[in-house]
Amino acid sequence: MTLVTHLINGELIAGTGRTADVFNPAIGAVSKQVALADRATLQLVIDSAKAAFPAWRNTPPAKRAQIMFRFKQLLEQHEATIAKLISEEHGKTIEDAVGELKRGIENVEFACAAPEILKGEYSRNVGPNIDAWSDMQPLGVVAGITPFNFPAMVPLWMYPLAIVCGNCFILKPSERDPSSTLYIAQLLIEAGLPKGVLSVVHGDKEAVDGLIESPDVKALSFVGSTPIAEYIYSEGTKRGKRVQALGGAKNHAVLMPDADLDNAVSALMGAAYGSCGERCMAISVAVCVGDQIADALVEKLTPQIKALKIGAGTQCGLDMGPLVTAAARDKVKGYIDAGVAQGARLVVDGRDLVVAGHEDGYFVGGTLFDKVTPEMTIYTDEIFGPVLCIVRVGSLEAAMQLINDHEYGNGTCIFTRDGEAARLFCDEIEVGMVGVNVPLPVPVSYHSFGGWKRSLFGDLHAYGPDGVRFYTRKKAITQRWPQRASHEAAQFAFPSNG
């Protein structure tokens, strides 16, 4: 059986023998195994990164950028292979996998601007014969821990930017779908990245704790569930590390009575059921302002949900594939059971979906609940599956209060033709990423991604300008070259430019 190995110092290494199964979720069977690192293997990775750092930090940013330009070309050339690897192990459709990769490539493009984004500031004559400037310097060895739902895109949020900033990067991807992540890292080595600058180490909690505890790892980036994000933030920061830890979400879409309903329905279908709902930016709650818009929404959504084309993600032309694991499927079905038990109206039930030829696959069909209330677990919890809940309220203010009261604040959107309502929503909603008639307001690569409240632990968001700040530390330098003929007496008062 194929073994997905570690990538250490530019070489594929099997490690010490501990492994985990990798499943093809469309057929419900083991397809590969992945090596799991112990502390000794992890130390090899850290040591190789430390050894590579001095030369890499002194490599001109323009040369780092040239490697990223070649990397971008390789990613585009190998798009079909990468998408197939994602689909085979995650389950998402080929089209969705291609879209994921393209959003990741946008971040590589941003990293190609390294000479520009790393320019410091300069001020001449801040005092007599004194100049001052800032220098953005790398941290050293940094690490990223990434989730199963975006095995290509989320790592590309992290290491291209960290690397062009002069750091050496250790990536610990999800062990559930590791092949595309490893393949992409190999393409960066092929593009000319020196050995040790990027390593991929697979593992479980032992590897995560090893990265947290190592004094040689200066910063940690994480995307995943809120409990683990909080754990990594707490354990990392108390050891003096810089940490950005992105957690869970419960994203609401507000539908005003004046919304363009047809466009809103199309947007919600993609945002709620795309990637089987396994997105931290998925819309899982539609908040309808008034019964009229709610009734119309249910009427239009129902036939479209029932008509979703579902099958093995590797087949083209589908809307949804399977969930990533049997445990994920069972968890989603459990939430649907709970919604029924707690009194929500189940409009479309996806629990009994069977895909011909893939009877053992981890499939759940599109599901719709109406008349959901805030105390129900299908409302409070992040389901991470193809389940959309409709909540009915009487006003925009009530909708906003509902969203602001939730523990998560990752993404949200409003559908309306009213500019005043949209402006109020954007100003007053306590959420990090907001869309107006845009259901998935994921920022482009030259902005930054991150939520509020318990969706983000740390001060800096992912990628974009915040990513540059996260992966560098600023040094302020003040320099004086007095004229030879001059001599000044000692000054004992605090210096100023007066």
Residues noted as catalytic: 280
Helices (H) and strands (E) in the chain, counts: 16, 23
Provide the CB-side half-sphere exposure for 202 (13 A, CA): 32
Please name which of 245, 246, 155, 132 lies closest in space to residue 481, comparing C-alpha atoms: 132
Distance CA 310, CA 319 (A): 6
DSSP string for 240-280: T-EEEEE----EEEEE-TTS-HHHHHHHHHHHHHGGGG--T
Tokens of 12: 């594929």
Give, in degrees to the nearest 5, the angle at Cα 228 between 90 and 438.
60
Enumerate the β-bridge partners of residue 130.
127, 480
Amino acid at 219: A
Enumerate the β-bridge partners of residue 223.
246
Q: What crossing angle do the helices spanning 39-57 and 205-213 adopt, rounded to 10°?
A: 50
Tokens of 417: 């033709």
Distance CA 168, CA 64 (A): 12
